[in-house]
Homo-oligomer: A and B are copies of this chain.
């Protein structure tokens, strides 16, 4: 650490890589150039982020041959068709196996670009420069890449680890407040699943983080990435414990799918989904009601919704959750909370218990 810069190493053996976190880290050539070995890069970004940060990034990459693929903004473009436009451009240039792909943007850009990097000529190097809080603490770390299918999110994808992740906290100043809050849903998640001290720290500092006080934001990102990095290093391909990172996601994906993607932000859906998981955890006798209230309270202070759309019925949830990747032999595995700071993968709840939770949040 120097000048408030943190480096978190994700320990994946020969695919080990650093996450460089702090204000202005995107401006420092030595954070990027060592990973552009053959001096040719393809930056993948979108129409919203490019006007804000593309010139800055090009400045950092002086001396490197830079190509840019500009994507439309929005989750609805996270498709195989959009991936194809990047493949087309890579071949038009043409780029070979030694080109480095750089994802400059939020989770959608990072997921598509990572997928393309994983598939282009059977895999090329890539660098993640996440420009949202959500992608800085979650999607840019861990190597999950992919695109959506009309029948489900992230159904087409693969594991492809980046060479490094550049989490520049200065870029958060241009992030809409609602997206900052959505990112905090994942930050809070790390506290919930494995780090009760961090959860308490967030209870003490959430307003300061929302106000983008540099030291607080950098610390929150560093601690989130450290937890995620440890979980990923222990279970890269999600055979076991990595699934804990999906707290709130199975419910959340169902909410997003029911409403149509884009009504709620992913982080908002995760917050609401986590409230469903917390409710079921309470019904199983694990969480105390006071803990459920603490979770709801922290979400609300972070600007996040805690009550799922009431028009969704239990049947809606069950149908939509059945296509989730965490389904095993027809049984929906859920991530539930033993207490704040401890999560567990659960398959042995009863349908009646699950339905009771779903019904309690439904109007019909």
Which residue in chain B gives the minimum CB-CB distance to A94? B323
- Identify which of B88, B119, B120, B156 contacts A120 (C-beta below 8 A): B156
Complex CA gap A146/B119 in Å reads: 8
Of the stretches A182-190, A208-216, A224-232, A324-332, the one at the interface is: A324-332
- CB neighbours (8 Å) of A149 from chain B are 87-88, 91
A323 to chain B, nearest CB (A): 5
- CB neighbours (8 Å) of A156 from chain B are 87, 119-120
Q: Within A149-173, which residues are at the interface with B (CB < 8 Å)?
A: 149, 151-152, 154-159
Whether A38 and B91, one on each chain, are in contact in the complex, defined by CB atoms closer than 8 angstroms, is: no
Whether B155 and A121, one on each chain, are in contact in the complex, defined by CB atoms closer than 8 angstroms, is: yes
A interface, how many residues as a size bin? Answer: 35 or more
Whether A152 and B91, one on each chain, are in contact in the complex, defined by CB atoms closer than 8 angstroms, is: yes
- CB neighbours (8 Å) of A328 from chain B are 96-98
Whether B80 and A84, one on each chain, are in contact in the complex, defined by CB atoms closer than 8 angstroms, is: yes
Q: A96-B327, A323-B94 are in contact. Are A118 and B84 (CB under 8 A)?
A: no
- CB neighbours (8 Å) of A151 from chain B are 88, 91-92, 94
The reply to whether the CB of A123 lies closer than 8 angstroms to some CB of chain B is yes
- CB neighbours (8 Å) of A121 from chain B are 154-155, 157, 325
- Identify which of B96, B97, B155, B158 contacts A118 (C-beta below 8 A): B158
- Identify which of B80, B96, B323 contacts A80 (C-beta below 8 A): B80
Complex CA gap A94/B88 in Å reads: 31
Whether B159 and A123, one on each chain, are in contact in the complex, defined by CB atoms closer than 8 angstroms, is: yes
Complex CA gap A80/B328 in Å reads: 28
A162 to chain B, nearest CB (A): 16
Which residue in chain B gives the minimum CB-CB distance to A118? B158
The reply to whether the CB of A122 lies closer than 8 angstroms to some CB of chain B is yes
Complex CA gap A87/B87 in Å reads: 19
Q: A84-B80, A91-B149 are in contact. Are A155 and B327 (CB under 8 A)?
A: no
The reply to whether the CB of A223 lies closer than 8 angstroms to some CB of chain B is no
Complex CA gap A38/B119 in Å reads: 28
A150 to chain B, nearest CB (A): 8
- CB neighbours (8 Å) of A119 from chain B are 119, 146, 156-158
The reply to whether the CB of A78 lies closer than 8 angstroms to some CB of chain B is no
- CB neighbours (8 Å) of A339 from chain B are none
A120, A151, A158, most chain B CB atoms within 10 A: A158
- CB neighbours (8 Å) of A253 from chain B are none
- CB neighbours (8 Å) of A323 from chain B are 91, 94
Known contacts A97-B328, A120-B156, then 12 further A-B pairs from the complex at CB < 8 Å, ordered by chain A residue: A80-B84, A80-B87, A87-B155, A91-B151, A91-B152, A91-B323, A97-B325, A119-B157, A120-B155, A121-B325, A122-B158, A123-B237
CB-defined A-B contacts under 8 Å, sample of 11: A88-B149, A91-B155, A94-B323, A97-B325, A97-B328, A120-B155, A121-B154, A122-B144, A122-B146, A122-B325, A158-B158
